[in-house]
C-alpha cells in the first residue's frame, strides 16, 4: 500500500489515548474552560497510554477522584479544534493523492481501507456512547472529531462522483472570479451564514470544512481556502485572534439576509394558501 495512503489510514485507525494526570492546583474540576485549559506540565503526575477498552475502565476507576485533574490526548492533541485542523490538513493530502492516482489504485485496496476505517469509527462510537458517569469528559470532543473524519473519508472513497468531479475540476481551467459579483455579502458574512446552516444541519451535514468550502466557493466567488479558514475562526470554541475579524455588523447583515429570506418564504406561502 502506498505510503501516502497508509500514513493517513494509520492516523484514523490509531485510537490510543494518552491520559495525563496533574495536581489539582492546575484547574478547578468545575471550571467551564476545562476542555480548553492549558495544563501546566510542572504539575504533571503521570502519563499513561490506553486503548479504548482500557480507557473506559480507567475513567470509571477515576469517577470519584477529586484529587487530580486529567487531560486526554488523541493523536498527540488534547484540544478538539487543534485535532480537527490537523486532520483537515491530512485528509486534504489524502484526497489529492486519491484524485491523482485513483485509476492506478487497486479497488480491493480501497475496500480494505474502508473496512479498517469503519472498524475504527465503530470503536470510537462505542467509546462516545458508553454510559459512563464521570467528572472527566475531555475525551468526548476529541472522539467526535475523529468519528467525523472517519465518516467523511469513508463517504469520499465510496462515492466515485467526488473523485471524478475533483479530477474534472483539477483539469478544467477555471475563469477568474476577481470581478464577478456572485453575492451581495462580503466573505465574513458568507462564512457566518453558511456556518450556522451547517451547525443546524441544514447544509453540509457531517462534511469537513474543507469539502464544505468548495461548493460555497463556486457559488460566491470567494477562495475555498479562505472560507475554510473562516469556518474555523468563526466557531465559538475558536481561540484564534482572527475570530475578532467577525464584527457585530457582519452578524447583523447575515441575520437580516436570513430575515429577508424568511419573509419571502412566508409571503409566498401565504399567497399560495389564500389564492
> Beta-carbon neighbour count of residue 247 at 10 Å?
11
- The more confident residue out of 225 and 91 is 91
Judge if 46 and 101 occupy the same domain. Answer: yes
Judge if 21 and 80 occupy the same domain. Answer: yes
Q: List, for residues 236-269, the tens digit of each pLDDT value.
A: 765 555 556 788 888 888 898 888 888 888 888 8
Last residue of a domain, one of 110, 144, 171: 171
pTM: 0.63
Judge if 102 and 194 occupy the same domain. Answer: no
Q: List, for residues 93-102, the tens digit of each pLDDT value.
A: 888 888 888 7
Residue owning grid cell 447544509 = 203
Inter-CA distances, 31 with 112, 136, 269, Å = 43, 12, 48
Judge if 85 and 20 occupy the same domain. Answer: yes
pLDDT score at 164? 59
The answer on pLDDT for 129 being more than 60 is yes
- What is the grid cell recorded at 213? 468550502
Average pLDDT, the chain: 80
pLDDT score at 81? 82
What is the total count of domains within the chain?
Answer: 2
pLDDT score at 58? 83
Q: List, for residues 48-75, the tens digit of each pLDDT value.
A: 999 998 888 887 776 555 567 788 999 9
Judge if 164 and 35 occupy the same domain. Answer: yes
Cβ atoms of 27 and 69 within 8 Å: the answer is yes
Last residue of a domain, one of 138, 171, 204: 171
Last residue of a domain, one of 147, 171, 195: 171
Q: Residue 245 is part of which domain span?
A: 187-274
pLDDT score at 18? 95
pLDDT score at 179? 45
Q: Is 30 buried (19+), middle (13-18) or exposed (0-12) by CB count in 10 A?
A: exposed
Q: Per mean pLDDT, which range of 82-86, 146-150, 179-183 is the poorest? A: 179-183
pLDDT score at 204? 84
The answer on pLDDT for 115 being more than 90 is yes
Residue owning grid cell 489539582 = 24
pLDDT score at 213? 87
pLDDT score at 10? 94
Amino acid at each position: 500500500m502506498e505510503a501516502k495512503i497508509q500514513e493517513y489510514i494509520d492516523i484514523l485507525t490509531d485510537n490510543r489515548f494518552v491520559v495525563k494526570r496533574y495536581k489539582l492546583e492546575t484547574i478547578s474540576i468545575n471550571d467551564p474552560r476545562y476542555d480548553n485549559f492549558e495544563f501546566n506540565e510542572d504539575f504533571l503526575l503521570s502519563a499513561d497510554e490506553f486503548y479504548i477498552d482500557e480507557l473506559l475502565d480507567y475513567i470509571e476507576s477515576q469517577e470519584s477522584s477529586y484529587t487530580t485533574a486529567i487531560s486526554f490526548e488523541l493523536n498527540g492533541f488534547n484540544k478538539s479544534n487543534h485535532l480537527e485542523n490537523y486532520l483537515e490538513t491530512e485528509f486534504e493530502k489524502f484526497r489529492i493523492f486519491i484524485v491523482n492516482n485513483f485509476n492506478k489504485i487497486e479497488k480491493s485496496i480501497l475496500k480494505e481501507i474502508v473496512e479498517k476505517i469503519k472498524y475504527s469509527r465503530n470503536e470510537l462510537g462505542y467509546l462516545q456512547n458508553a454510559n459512563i458517569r464521570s467528572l472527566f469528559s475531555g475525551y468526548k470532543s476529541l472522539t467526535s472529531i475523529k468519528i467525523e473524519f472517519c465518516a467523511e473519508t469513508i463517504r469520499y472513497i465510496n462515492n466515485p462522483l467526488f473523485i471524478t468531479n475533483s479530477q474534472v475540476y483539477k483539469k478544467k481551467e477555471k475563469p477568474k472570479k476577481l470581478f464577478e459579483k456572485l453575492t451581495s455579502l462580503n466573505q465574513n458574512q458568507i462564512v457566518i451564514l453558511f456556518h450556522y446552516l451547517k451547525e443546524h444541519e441544514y447544509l453540509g451535514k457531517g462534511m469537513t470544512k474543507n469539502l464544505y468550502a468548495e461548493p460555497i466557493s463556486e457559488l460566491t466567488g470567494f477562495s475555498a481556502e479562505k472560507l475554510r479558514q473562516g469556518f474555523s475562526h468563526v466557531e465559538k470554541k475558536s481561540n484564534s485572534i482572527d475570530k475578532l475579524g467577525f464584527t457585530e455588523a457582519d452578524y447583523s447583515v447575515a441575520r437580516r439576509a436570513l430575515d429577508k429570506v424568511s419573509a419571502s418564504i412566508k409571503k409566498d406561502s401565504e399567497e399560495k394558501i389564500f389564492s
